[in-house]
């Protein structure tokens, strides 16, 4: 007679590990398992040794996260990807992979997100990685910096944060490859809809999933997409260091990506109109937006970005304003959210001196052209007349 299984044991095992039906779900399921089993130990051994495809432990890979990675890899035209717990972690991993078997030296764009600058200054430089700062929109300066410092890696953004300069990714890639270095590109502001840096010669592309790709302000995550040469080390970083994104966040990011091209097209169209309205406003002294004919990188914009799709970020300076006047302007906003992110469906306004570039010294901000009268606007999908009306009333 078969021994009756205790209620304690049934509570632990009953209902689990049931063979899935043959039906295929229309969306990617959320799989939370941290470990996986096979009918035979030899099968698990082959998965561990990568002789067969499969899952063994969630740090090595899991179904929901892998689905997200496959999706973004396809969008970027890459070889493989690693989803991470934040955009900054994705950048850290990308730089570590790029420098793994190269000289510990970086040539970095002087105009970067403030946290990216601090990462190079306080993490990588403290670990012995030298950083040379350069204006990546000045190709002669980039070539000179690469020649002088012989870097293992070059780092740039597709559209710089927050002044929205557009570097010639393809030409920087040529200079980087000629020096046997790796080009890491933060493509958060452009997304794969506007630019695919791997197709322009980059080796590793980074996104903050939190921003345009997920797009709804409910995900913290990042992703690195790589070429074939750097993919094995990228996956090794996942296995050894464990920066992996979780399945719930991966599902939300993947759900957001389904509509990101629609959102991005709408946001770009809105930004074109908002930038035009700000350009003629009497209280605005300067507008930074890649879609203007007077943009300093207009030739590069025309060559690398699709017609009419210039991104949905705008930064602008308010005449004769300091922090008190900027705070008063922000406090008067009714529709536009005073948030510390970007790329959401709703419009978000940020004060770089207080938020994105807070940890950068005032003198360094001044050298970069980030004044105390500069604000950064992430244009959302609202009706554009409502966005411009809110700016108009707040600027009075």
Q: 180 is written with which tokens?
A: 């046997």
Whether residue 59 lies in the annotated active site: yes
Looking at 36, 165, 171, 186, which residue is catalytic?
Answer: 186
Q: Which of 113, 212, 251, 351 is catalytic?
A: 113
Alpha carbons 55 and 67: distance in angstroms, whole number: 13
Contact 224, 195 (CB under 8 A): no
Determine which helix (DSSP H) or strand (DSSP E) holds 326, and give its type and residue range.
Answer: helix 323-332
Selecting among 165, 171, 196, 211, the annotated active-site residue is 211
Please say whether the beta carbons of 379 and 274 come within 8 A. yes
- Pairing, β 284-288 against β 153-157: unpaired
Q: Is 211 a catalytic residue?
A: yes
Read off the tokens for 171. 């030409």
Is 186 among the catalytic positions? yes
Q: Are 63 and 55 in contact (CB under 8 A)?
A: yes
Active site residue 46: no
Helix (H, G, I), strand (E, B) or coil at 256: helix
The dihedral of CA 73, 76, 82, 84: what is its sign? negative
- Residue of 46, 59, 102, 150 marked active site: 59
Alpha-carbon distance values, 279 to 163, 192, 388 (Å)? 15, 28, 12
| Residues annotated as catalytic (active site), given as ranges | 59, 113, 186, 211
């Amino acid at each position: 007679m078969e021994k009756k299984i205790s209620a304690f044991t049934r509570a632990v095992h009953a209902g689990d590990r049931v063979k899935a039906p043959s039906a295929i779900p229309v969306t990617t399921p959320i799989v939370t398992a941290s470990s996986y089993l096979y009918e035979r130990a030899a099968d698990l051994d082959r998965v561990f040794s990568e002789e067969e495809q499969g899952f063994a432990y969630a740090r090595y890979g899991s179904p929901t996260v892998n689905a997200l990675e496959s999706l973004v890899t396809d969008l970027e035209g890459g070889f493989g990807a690693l989803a991470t717990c934040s955009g900054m972690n994705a950048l850290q991993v990308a730089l570590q992979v790029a420098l793994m078997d190269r000289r510990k030296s970086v040539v970095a764009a002087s105009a970067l997100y403030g946290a990216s600058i601090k990462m190079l200054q306080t993490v990588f430089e403290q670990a012995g990685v030298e950083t040379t700062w350069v204006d990546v929109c000045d190709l002669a300066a980039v070539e000179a910096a690469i020649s002088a410092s012989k870097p293992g890696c070059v780092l740039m953004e597709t559209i710089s944060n927050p002044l929205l300069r557009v570097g010639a990714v393809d030409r920087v890639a040529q200079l980087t490859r000629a020096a046997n270095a790796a080009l890491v590109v933060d493509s958060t502001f452009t997304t794969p809809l506007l630019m695919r840096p791997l197709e322009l010669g980059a080796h590793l592309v980074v996104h903050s999933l939190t921003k345009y790709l997920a797009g709804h302000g409910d995900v913290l995550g990042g992703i690195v997409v790589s070429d074939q040469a750097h993919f094995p080390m990228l996956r090794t970083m996942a296995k050894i260091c464990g920066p992996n994104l979780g399945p719930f966040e991966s599902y939300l990011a993947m759900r957001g990506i389904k509509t990101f091209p629609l959102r991005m097209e709408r946001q770009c169209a809105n930004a074109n109109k908002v930038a035009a309205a700000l350009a003629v406003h009497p209280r605005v002294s300067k507008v930074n937006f890649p879609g203007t004919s007077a943009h300093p990188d207009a030739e590069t914009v025309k060559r690398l970005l699709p017609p009419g799709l210039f991104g949905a970020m705008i930064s602008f300076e308010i005449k004769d304003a300091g922090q008190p006047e900027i705070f008063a302007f922000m406090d008067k906003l009714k529709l536009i959210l005073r948030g510390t992110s970007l790329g959401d469906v709703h419009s978000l306004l940020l004060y770089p001196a207080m938020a994105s570039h807070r940890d950068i010294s005032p003198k360094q901000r001044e050298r970069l052209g980030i004044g105390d009268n500069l604000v950064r606007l992430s244009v959302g999908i609202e009706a554009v007349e409502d966005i411009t009306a809110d700016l108009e009333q707040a600027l009075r």
